[in-house]
């Protein structure tokens, strides 16, 4: 029953997200970016995990560029083919990314890290209390398992719901940011 709820919620939100046109995606992403860079915790962080946006996800190129210009070491998820798992690798520039699984750009370096100060996490849906629903593969749950990073979920406001089914292994966000609000998470 639990996974059926997750499947139904995931499909409903993804269908809604796919209805956004490019101008809406850019506008909402820019509003989220401005909220995010106003956070004190972002300004003081030295190592930040982000993601390269895919399809209709909240756009992250401006954020990654902004962080890099300020001397923050930016990390991205990358699939390690040798070990068949996702790892956190250093971002070395847009020209040093290659398509990984699902054609999502990822670093080609082997420079990995165990932990970061802040993790900026995508999701299909988030609850106001910080629960996260991803694509169902558990990538971020495994990457952030045991991490002391301050976890920030970013999503469009319609992706924020009152509650989500949770399992013990699901990573909870400390904050969730949309174009309209900042939710306290846990």
Q: Tens-digit pLDDT profile for the chain (186 aa)?
A: 344 588 889 999 999 999 999 999 999 999 999 999 999 889 889 999 999 999 999 999 999 999 999 999 999 999 988 888 899 999 999 999 999 888 999 998 766 676 899 999 999 999 999 999 998 888 999 999 889 999 999 999 999 998 898 888 889 999 999 999 999 855
The whole-number pLDDT of residue 166 equals 86
The answer to whether 107 and 92 are in contact (CB under 8 A) is yes
Q: Token digits for 17?
A: 């997200």
The whole-number pLDDT of residue 111 equals 67
pLDDT tens by residue, 118-170:
999 999 999 999 999 998 888 999 999 889 999 999 999 999 998 898 888 88
pTM of the model: 0.91
Question: Residue 95, exposed/middle/buried by CB under 10 A (0-12, 13-18, 19+)?
Answer: exposed
Pairing of strands 73-80, 47-49: parallel
The answer to whether 126 and 158 are in contact (CB under 8 A) is no
Q: Token digits for 134?
A: 């991803």
The answer to whether 126 and 164 are in contact (CB under 8 A) is yes
Pairing of strands 182-183, 175-177: antiparallel
Of 140, 128, 144, whose CA–CA distance to 185 is shortest? 128
The answer to whether 104 and 96 are in contact (CB under 8 A) is no
Contacts of 124 (CB under 8 A, 6+ apart): 9, 10, 13, 14, 17, 133, 134, 135, 159
The answer to whether 125 and 161 are in contact (CB under 8 A) is yes
Q: Token digits for 150?
A: 């301050």
Of 85, 148, 156, whose CA–CA distance to 119 is shortest? 148
Positive or negative, the CA dihedral 98, 101, 106, 110 is negative
């Amino acid at each position: 029953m639990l996974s059926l709820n997750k499947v139904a919620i995931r499909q409903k939100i993804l269908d809604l997200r796919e209805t956004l046109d490019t101008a809406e995606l850019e506008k909402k992403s820019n509003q989220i970016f401005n909220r995010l860079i106003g956070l004190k915790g972002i300004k003081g962080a030295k190592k930040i995990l982000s993601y390269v946006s895919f399809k209709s996800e909240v756009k992250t190129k401006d954020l990654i560029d902004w962080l890099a210009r300020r001397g923050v070491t930016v990390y991205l998820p990358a699939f390690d083919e040798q070990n068949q798992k996702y790892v956190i690798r250093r971002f070395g520039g847009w020209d040093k990314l290659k398509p990984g699984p699902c054609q999502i750009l990822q670093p080609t370096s082997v420079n990995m890290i165990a932990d970061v100060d802040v993790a900026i996490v995508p999701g299909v849906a988030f609850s106001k209390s910080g629960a996260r629903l991803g694509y169902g593969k558990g990538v971020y749950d495994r990457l952030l398992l045991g991490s002391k990073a301050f976890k920030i979920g970013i999503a469009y406001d319609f992706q924020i719901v009152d509650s989500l089914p949770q399992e013990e292994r699901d990573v909870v966000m400390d904050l969730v940011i949309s174009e309209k609000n900042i939710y306290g998470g846990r």
